[in-house]
Structure 1
Amino acid sequence: MSLTLTQRLGLPSMRGQGALVVATLIDALGTGLYLPFSLLYFQRVAGLALPVIGGGLSLATALILPIIPFMGVLVDRFGAKPMVVVAQVLQALGFLGYLFVHSLVVLGVSALLVMAGARLFYVSFGVLIAQIASPDERDRWYGLSGATQNLGIGMGGLVAGFIVAWGGTIGYQTLIVANVLSFGLAALLLLWRTAPSPVRPARSADSSQGSRAVLANRPFLVLVACNVLFTLTLSLLSTGLPLYITETLNLSTVTLGILSAFGAGLLIGTQTLVMRLLEPYRRTRSLALASLLRALGYALLALALLLPHVLLVPYLFGVVALNTLASLITAPTVIALAAASSPAHLQGRYLAIYQFSWGIASALAPTLFTLLYALGPAWPWVALIGPTLIAGFVMVRLELYLPGQAVHVHPKEVARNEPAC
């Protein structure tokens, strides 16, 4: 009965890996404690001006991007699980440094450690999931990890508000200390309680090619290029939607908070179920569907300008639900497709290049949104409808060139019965 319920909810088999899920939750909880108050901490506690904070964090981001491919080499050489632990330690050290930030130099060095650890975590964690999950449960595992991270971040953000309100300056410092401890505890759990590290695939003759093997794989690079757009659309929503709702549509910050909580609740509560429902279908078709939903969501956001004010709130609940559904489909599916498209002995390198697309999109989103928004409040949404639809079409065409075991969630069942959609 319990197993049947687990399957119906879209949860993967977690035998021997429960501590991994707990470690992921603890990691995300610490991030959620810090993230909403990061700029306020540097401004109010560290005493830095906003231009200095922005410049230091942007410089750290720019310096980390070129070394992301090298992180894939480390994962392939030393294993995914040890590199996840190293990533946790780097982030713990970086946040510990934040307690002593009173100058741009200390901020830059600490931010470099934090961002290097974060990028290394996502590269190595993606490979670790690919190694511990059976091929037909990867989508469920990526969905579960995403839901767990969203739950932890949401819980952390909620608790952080009370801590800051109660403690003032000490409250801000408490958030940093709690984040340091969360990374340390997550690393200890991974070392002590998780199942033994998966046996790494033996190096083959072409493993010496390094990242050149990835760069020679054109279908995979097309997938990465499409993911730049997928990630850019998500970043634009998180960056621009609060401004659009409060300043353009003249709704209150309370309404914005309720809409954000609604979207987060959908992500947490339905992520694994959505992945189960999509399992009979090709991953490329699922991503095409998500692109169609995202384009429709953009069109509806632009049309919100024409609605009477009294209809905006229920209308936006529908728009948020639509965009959230697109996110539910895209995030786990695209990384599962990337992992299944990469040779096992080069998986670290492949997923490092995949993660590089996230860095590019995150760097582009704020500038792109502000430029388009300056042309008119509807332009950020209208301008992305066409590219989003094109990316969906490219995904359908790409399935002809990607490995069959990557396109299908259950490749063994494809020959027997595959839905036409």
Structure 2
Amino acid sequence: MGAALRRIQLGNALVAFGNGFTVPFLFVYVARVRELGDGTAGAVLAVFAAAALVVLPFTGRVIDRRGPMPVAYAGSAFASLGALGFGLSTAAPSVVASSALMGAGIAVLQPALATMIVSCSTAATRSRAFATQFFLNNLGLGVGGLIGGLLVDERQPSSFTLLFVVEAAMFIVLPMVLATVRLPQGGGVDMRELADDGAVAQPRDGWRVLLRDKPMVLLCVLGFVLFFTCYGQFESGLSAYAVEVTRISTSTLGIALAANTAVIVLAQFVVLRLVERHRRSRVVALVGVIWTVAWLAAGASGLVHGAQAVATALLISTYALFGLGETMLSPTLAPLVADLAPARLVGQYNSAFALVKQMALAVGPAVGGLLAAGGAYGTYIVMLVVCSLGISVLALWLGGRLTPVQDRPYRSVVVAARSARELSEGGGGVREAAEGSRAASVG
């Protein structure tokens, strides 16, 4: 990676580290430590998600008009104020307001950082760049959560205040790191003109152009199903199923979550080497198959009676298989969004995809929680098995709408480089070789 990309990744890792200090303890902090009750704690989490849904539709246009840096600075400021507010709040209104600030700040940071990564990478390096970001996110969250768990004491509110101060400090460090980054002009983003009259898309046309882009719309539908099926269930339906049906303890549930993170941290770059040479659509389709097996394992864990060790192993395997699928998605989805985007609408496309993810993270826990509350666990497992199979179908459908460069960029870059070398060796001249290579890689 270049120096600019390394610094962006460092800032991203520090933010994830700060988030790890507080994310696992938000509900307990509001409901138990500040004694505001489960209802207020639920409202805090709902407002956190709602704030993201409010700001993301407008974030992309600002990024494309002003650049990702100002948006990242603003997001860091809001998130830092929200974290400090959490640590100092003792009443419900201030806690809810802090949740809105932090939710909005973190939400706009995601597409801003993604756009920076796009601008500092090329079609050949983008998959590895986003895989590194995902790896550092999970490593930071895991380490931060581990240290936070050692520092926190439910009987001492000041220990929770310390955690939020650390998180706020990481949001202050992020713009300091980003201030040293000089983003390249053009950023290696592939130009793709979508307007019928051949004019390059303007930022003000963002949503109109995106909604006319059938592959991107299909990718958004696919992304919603993906995030609904996996991340949308971690803190609601799947956790309830594990405790109520599989009958595991909350400490064992923590081990299952740790298994998910461990698979991501240990396997990310091994998996990257295997998937970056294959078609992106088929990689996502394989994720659907893997998650189908994961949900079947979860269902089986609730049917094994009298063999708790087997049931526990099946449930931990579910979380581990989810982690394996996540390592396959990290070098696939975000780079594909970037490759689909016109050069002047990269921020809009990244924000739209972040919005889709946030919607799935809002709908997923609601659906999972309702089914769990009604005890309809059989229906719950069947629904998610169908969703997982739907991922494979949607991915293959999307693959039929992608160009070879979009679906398999690694091979396209290799072929372009080989063609350039052969032209040069055959007397075609350096200039012709460079032009041929550039034309093939841009696609």
**Given the two structures, how large is their TM-score scaled by the length of structure 1?**
0.89
1:198 match: 184
1:265 match: 262
Over 3 Å counting, the alpha-carbon distance change for 1:392 and 1:99 in structure 2 is same
Letter matched to residue 359 of structure 1? Q
- Matched ranges for 1:169-184 at <5 A: 169-184=157-172
- For residue 24 of structure 1, the aligned residue among 8, 12, 15 is 12
- Matched ranges for 1:20-419 at <5 A: 20-165=8-153, 168-192=156-180, 194=181, 196-200=182-186, 205-207=200-202, 208-239=204-235, 240-307=237-304, 308-373=307-372, 374-410=374-410, 411-413=412-414
Over 3 Å counting, the alpha-carbon distance change for 1:273 and 1:169 in structure 2 is same
Over 3 Å counting, the alpha-carbon distance change for 1:67 and 1:87 in structure 2 is closer
Q: Within 1, Cα distance between the matches of 2:113 and 2:88? A: 29
* Residue aligned with 2:201, SS: helix
Q: Within 2, Cα distance between the matches of 1:320 and 1:109? A: 33
Over 3 Å counting, the alpha-carbon distance change for 1:340 and 1:183 in structure 2 is same
Q: Within 2, Cα distance between the matches of 1:150 and 1:405? A: 29
Letter matched to residue 282 of structure 2? R
Per-residue deviation, residues 114-155 of structure 1 (Å, max 9, x unmatched): 111111011111111111112111111111111101111111
* 8 Å Cα contact 1:90-1:114 kept in structure 2: yes
Moved more, 315-324 or 408-417: 408-417
Q: Within 2, Cα distance between the matches of 1:236 and 1:38? A: 17
Moved more, 167-176 or 98-107: 98-107
Moved more, 307-316 or 328-337: 307-316
Q: Which runs of 5+ in 1 are unaligned?
A: 1-12
Q: Within 1, Cα distance between the matches of 2:302 and 2:99? A: 39
Letter matched to residue 290 of structure 1? V
Q: CA RMSD in A?
A: 2.4
Q: Which runs of 5+ in 2 are unaligned?
A: 194-198, 420-443
* Residue aligned with 2:156, SS: helix
Q: Within 2, Cα distance between the matches of 1:57 and 1:258? A: 24
* Residue aligned with 1:17, SS: helix
* 8 Å Cα contact 2:75-2:108 kept in structure 1: yes
Letter matched to residue 386 of structure 1? V
Moved more, 405-414 or 389-398: 405-414
Structure with larger RCO (C-alpha < 8 A, sep 6+): 1
Give the % identical residues. Answer: 25
How many residues are treated as equivalent by the alignment? 403
Letter matched to residue 115 of structure 1? G
1:9 match: none
* 8 Å Cα contact 2:17-2:143 kept in structure 1: yes
1:3 match: none
Q: CA deviation at 1:375?
A: 4.6
Q: Within 1, Cα distance between the matches of 2:24 and 2:10? A: 22
Q: Within 1, Cα distance between the matches of 2:25 and 2:51? A: 24
* Residue aligned with 1:133, SS: coil
* Residue aligned with 1:134, SS: coil
Per-residue deviation, residues 242-278 of structure 1 (Å, max 9, x unmatched): 3222221122233222222222111112112212211
* 8 Å Cα contact 1:88-1:121 kept in structure 2: yes
1:4 match: none
**Given the two structures, how large is their TM-score scaled by the length of structure 2?**
0.85
Over 3 Å counting, the alpha-carbon distance change for 1:236 and 1:66 in structure 2 is closer
Q: CA deviation at 1:80?
A: 1.9
* 8 Å Cα contact 2:233-2:365 kept in structure 1: no
Over 3 Å counting, the alpha-carbon distance change for 1:382 and 1:331 in structure 2 is farther
Letter matched to residue 413 of structure 1? V
Query: Which of these two proteins has the greater Rg computed from alpha carbons?
Result: 2
Q: Within 2, Cα distance between the matches of 1:63 and 1:87? A: 12
